[in-house]
Amino acid sequence: MNIIRPITNADYASLYDIAEESGIGFTSLPVNDTLLHNKIDRAEASFNKAVTQPGNESYLFVMEDTATGEVVGTSGIEAAVGLDDAFYHYHLGKVVHSSRELKVHNTAEILTFCNDYTGVTEICTLFLRERARGGLNGRLLSKVRFLFMMEHRERFSETVIAEMRGVSDDNGKSPFWEWLEEHFFSMDFPTADYLSGIGNKVFIAELMPKYPIYVNLLSQQAQAVIGQVHDKTRPALRLLQEEGFSCRGYVDIFDAGPTVEANLSHVRTAQASRKLPVVIDDQTAAQGQTCYIINTSVKDFRAVATEMTVSEEQQVAVLSRQAAAALNIKEGDAVRFAPVKYSN
């Protein structure tokens, strides 16, 4: 069985391997010892912190194969972005140039540099190792974050976003960044992406063009990738779209990948979730349906995907002994859960 739990310092070697495997463009996991250690330390502090409103907390989860003890994936939540470091985007909008006298009416797309998402919650750092891809693993890594946020709403903003990796090749060549590099930065995409990932963002404010950029002035290659995602990111984007996320015109300033957003209360998994006390009964649990299930702890958070049954008459969730042990709960404790498959 795979479980999801908070990261600890004992997971450092696994996190480093995941950072290497994730590749260029996966900004939230830079291959840097100091930054990865800091990421773990910050997550441990956040899981142990008493919180009444979202701040600079960072929650990083890992998926562990309980049979082998191997960490096979990560998933994260930033409670409120842009409070300590500036959080930049381009917003894709339109301007109209018209002359009634000349009977000319032209609409042009523009990219405007902004900090519009400051203070919102970001889901991030979702990566599943190649050998673990299959079954419900990817969905479990993604969806448990919505259950966690729903259970602990005081820790998060109502607006939730996700930055999707934009188009770049295996060598880190980004068509969008190439245009910016040529005209403003004189720095290749892997370098800019790495600097941003380690928190060195001063160069962005110093070198980024301050005025809106007319999209039709960009190269054809750069225009073609605005709002498009990396091939490896398509499954993650589909999952979020199923949950109700959509792009409101915001794109990444480096590779022009889309940022998608939703209100937590409208996210499908969060909306469908229920919270009930637990009864442990192997036979009854096995007759139920597969659900994503979390305990209600922060510090000792656990999540699994397994069969369970709901007794509507008794208003209890019936779990197996194995599931209860994986979730680190006993009979009478509460769980929050959502179905893997919906009836409609």
Side-chain-side CA neighbours of residue 70 (13 Å): 9
H or E segment to which residue 289 belongs:
strand 289-295
Q: Rounded CA gap, 333 and 295, in Å? A: 8
Q: Can you read off the two tokens belonging to residue 203?
A: 């160069």
- CB count within 10 Å of CB 231 equals 9
H or E segment to which residue 50 belongs:
none
Q: Which among 37, 89, 183, 230 is annotated as catalytic?
A: 230
Q: Rounded CA gap, 304 and 316, in Å? A: 18
**Type of residue found at 228:** Q
191: phi then psi, degrees, rounded to nearest 5: -70, -50
Angstrom CA distances, 2 to 70, 295, 318, stand at: 10, 15, 19
Q: Are 65 and 135 in contact (CB under 8 A)?
A: no
Q: Rounded CA gap, 244 and 324, in Å? A: 30
Q: Is 37 one of the catalytic residues?
A: no
Catalytic residues: 230
